[in-house]
Amino acid sequence: MSNAPRVVSANRDWGSDDSDAHIMHVDMDAFFASVEVARKPVLAGKPVIVGGGERGVVLAATYEARPFGVRAGMPIARARVLAPQALFIPPDHREYYRISTGVMDILHSITPEVEQVSVDEAFLDIRGSKRRLGSALEIGAMLRERIYDEFSLTCSVGIARNKFVAKLASTNCKPDGLMIVPAARTTEFVQCLPVGSLWGVGVKTQERLAEWGITQVAELAVMEVSALARIVGPAAAAHLHALAWGRDDRPVVTERNEKSIGAETTFSKDLVDLDQLLNHFWALADQCGSRLRRKQLVGRTIAIKVRNTHFETVTRSMRLDSPTNSSKAIYEAARELFAGLKRPSATRLVGIRVENLENESDSVFQDTLADSVVGAGVALSRSERVMDQIRAKFGESAIERAAQGGLRLSRPQ
């Protein structure tokens, strides 16, 4: 769910010349909320907000909910005040991941040059695809049609000469839009927008610029970089000045090395009971392990995060003797770390993160002597992969660990 500023006048026909416009940005519209509406058509046309628990945050909201002031990252409690008539739905991250994977498969069928930047958006370099699939606008229209036909979801597509302008185009043609900004009109398009459209301009930077009478990109573009540096600093000044003229030389990066995989949960009511806390750690470890196995990754470091009722947060980590993607091994390390903490009177949030990731095929595993004799490590690995297969086929609730107590409350990070 994007909170980027949009300008109604920018959402228009800028022309169709794609001779130097080969970067495409595909952004799903209100992704999580739209998935819920597609699953339950009775929700269509209603204000729907996706978020976890009374103390969680808004992950997505349908366009019917946004006029009430609901935005991504907003506390759920605040969203309930602004839009009491809205329908609040807990997130189903496994379903979102499944559909995201399907959407990315469609994008990869267009070109191998795909840079996925989040679960619901990606950049594509389509210069090679034009030769076999047609113009940039034809490719964009085909993508939108295929995604809707397969998942009943809409997306917005921006096409331009670089990633920055393509992202601006998709933002300003939302929802369910398609916009190309020809290279020759890049400057005109960018400079019709407010300064908040520039990457790196947050609320505080906007306020500082406004104090100097700068609210539009066009006003920033004509400033001397040295003068701008006195407001935002030298590095930011050079960056923003380049963007104000539509300059961005970053290529589409097709591979990203994932640095960590984690999950956390904020409790609706602060917990004191140790068994309940450990059950939550099991649920978190199970999600981390499942994601690692699905991506064929292992990790060498386990970290936990614990926040108490006073919002004080403590983190601890340990390095394992051997890399792992076993949910049980992750849980046992997390339990050991948690046992070493001074117990607070009540706990508000717990989280687990697996770090120092590497490809499973490149790693050397070392069982303990006892496990190697009885084959416990191999048996555990097989059982966890069988659980993954059952859940993938029949749903998350099809099978669970007895120790987990039915908890699957974590949110992937």
390: pLDDT strictly greater than 70: no
**Which range (19-23, 64-68, 252-256) has the least confidence?**
252-256
Do 116 and 238 share a domain, yes or no?
A: no
Active site residues: 121
pLDDT of residue 93: 86
Mean pLDDT of 15-26: 95
Identity (one letter) of the amino acid at 52? G
198: pLDDT strictly greater than 60: yes
Q: How many domains does the chain have?
A: 3
pLDDT of residue 412: 36
Do 287 and 400 share a domain, yes or no?
A: yes
Mean pLDDT of the chain: 87
Bridge-based pairing of strands 178-180 and 155-160 is parallel
Alpha-helical regions (H) of 152-233: 163-172, 186-190, 203-211, 217-221, 225-232
Q: Residue 352: inside a domain, yes or no?
A: yes
Q: Kindly state the DSSP code that residue 177 receives in the 8-state scheme.
A: -
Do 77 and 23 share a domain, yes or no?
A: yes
Instruction: For CA atoms 4, 8, 9, 15, give the dihedral sign.
Output: positive
The answer to whether 184 and 17 are in contact (CB under 8 A) is yes
The answer to whether 236 and 200 are in contact (CB under 8 A) is yes
Do 272 and 132 share a domain, yes or no?
A: no
Q: Residue 253: inside a domain, yes or no?
A: no
For residue 119, give the CATH number of its domain: 3.30.70.270
* 120 annotated ligand binder: yes
Q: Residue 254: inside a domain, yes or no?
A: no
Do 203 and 315 share a domain, yes or no?
A: no
Instruction: For CA atoms 14, 16, 20, 26, give the dihedral sign.
Output: positive
Q: What is the largest CA-CA distance in the chain?
A: 74
What range defines the domain where residue 215 resides? 194-244
Mean pLDDT of 245-258: 86
Percentage, residues of the chain above pLDDT 70: 86
DSSP 81-126: HH-TTSEEE---HHHHHHHHHHHHHHHHHH-S-EEEEETTEEEEE-
Q: What is d(CA 235, CA 225) in angstroms, rounded to the nearest whole number?
A: 10
Q: What is d(CA 95, CA 162) in angstroms, rounded to the nearest whole number?
A: 32
Do 293 and 234 share a domain, yes or no?
A: no
pLDDT of residue 312: 87
**Which range (242-246, 255-259, 336-340) has the least confidence?**
255-259
Do 68 and 178 share a domain, yes or no?
A: yes
Do 53 and 92 share a domain, yes or no?
A: yes
Pick 413 or 353 by higher pLDDT. 353
320-371 pLDDT, tens digit each: 988 999 999 999 999 999 999 987 779 999 999 999 999 887 765 555 444 4
Q: Residue 115: inside a domain, yes or no?
A: yes
Do 38 and 158 share a domain, yes or no?
A: yes
For residue 377, give the CATH number of its domain: 3.30.1490.100
Identity (one letter) of the amino acid at 272? V
For residue 230, give the CATH number of its domain: 1.10.150.20
Residue 38: phi and psi, rounded to 5, are: -65, -35
The encoded tokens of residue 110 equal 């267009």
Q: What is d(CA 286, CA 120) in angstroms, rounded to the nearest whole number?
A: 24
Identity (one letter) of the amino acid at 299? G
Do 201 and 295 share a domain, yes or no?
A: no
Q: What is d(CA 102, CA 146) in angstroms, rounded to the nearest whole number?
A: 11
**Which range (144-148, 174-178, 293-297, 359-363) has the least confidence?**
359-363
75-112 pLDDT, tens digit each: 999 999 999 999 999 999 889 989 999 999 999 999 99
Task: Give CA 61 to chain center in angstroms.
Answer: 15
Identity (one letter) of the amino acid at 68? F
Q: Residue 405: inside a domain, yes or no?
A: yes
Task: Give CA 163 to chain center in angstroms.
Answer: 18
Do 148 and 290 share a domain, yes or no?
A: no
- Choose among 247, 244, 280, 224: nearest CA to 401: 280
Order of strands across the sheet that contains 114-118: 114-118, 121-125, 23-28, 155-160, 178-180
Place of tokens 């927008």: 193
Q: What is d(CA 406, CA 399) in angstroms, rounded to the nearest whole number?
A: 9
* 27 annotated ligand binder: yes
Q: Residue 21: inside a domain, yes or no?
A: yes
pLDDT of residue 398: 47
Q: Kindly state the DSSP code that residue 250 receives in the 8-state scheme.
A: P
Last residue of a domain, one of 182, 207, 226: 182
Q: Residue 189: inside a domain, yes or no?
A: no
> How many CA atoms within 13 Å lie on the side-chain side of 124?
28
Q: Residue 255: inside a domain, yes or no?
A: no
Do 205 and 173 share a domain, yes or no?
A: no
Q: What is d(CA 238, CA 397) in angstroms, rounded to the nearest whole number?
A: 52
Burial class of residue 213 (count of CB atoms within 10 Å of its CB; 0-12, 13-18, 19+)? exposed
